Structure 1
């Protein structure tokens, strides 16, 4: 089990973006979560199913894509310590 098999497309916020990287040619594209949600039945797909269906759009490639979540929020470092 990993995060792709645990999360459905309906669990994502509409403003989140997914990054798809081609495993063959290395082309990268960004996909908004609302594009998946707009498709019929897209909200019920798990993210591993989205990744399995995604194909590269570069001319002549059509390779499989690797899915990653893009975080647009602020990052915070570790602020705890040993007490």
Structure 2
């Protein structure tokens, strides 16, 4: 079972960014969950169903997209000291 089948759009914070990438033209953009939460038919969807509803925003493409959740937490490359 995919992680997209376990998370609903309602489970996300309103300012969480969702990365969307077109599988045909590779155009990438970011959606905010808050933009879709006010739509009653969208807020109950699981992320896999939400992914099926979205289409590419590029002119004349309308391809299927893949979504990914982004993490804005800082990561550090340093993991340890001298051995």
TM-score over 0.5 (shorter chain): yes
Q: TM (normalized to structure 1)? A: 0.85
Taking the aligned partners of 1:54 and 1:41, their CA distance within structure 2 comes to 13
1:49-79 C-alpha deviation (Å, 9 max, x unpaired): 11001101111111000000011123367x7
Taking the aligned partners of 2:28 and 2:60, their CA distance within structure 1 comes to 15
Taking the aligned partners of 1:76 and 1:37, their CA distance within structure 2 comes to 33
Taking the aligned partners of 2:5 and 2:17, their CA distance within structure 1 comes to 18
Structure 2, unaligned stretches of length 5 or more? Answer: none
Aligned residues: 79
Taking the aligned partners of 2:36 and 2:10, their CA distance within structure 1 comes to 9
Moved runs in structure 1, 4+ residues, more than 4 A?
none
CA RMSD of aligned residues (A): 1.7
Q: TM (normalized to structure 2)? A: 0.85
Structure 1, unaligned stretches of length 5 or more? Answer: none
1:4 corresponds in structure 2 to 4
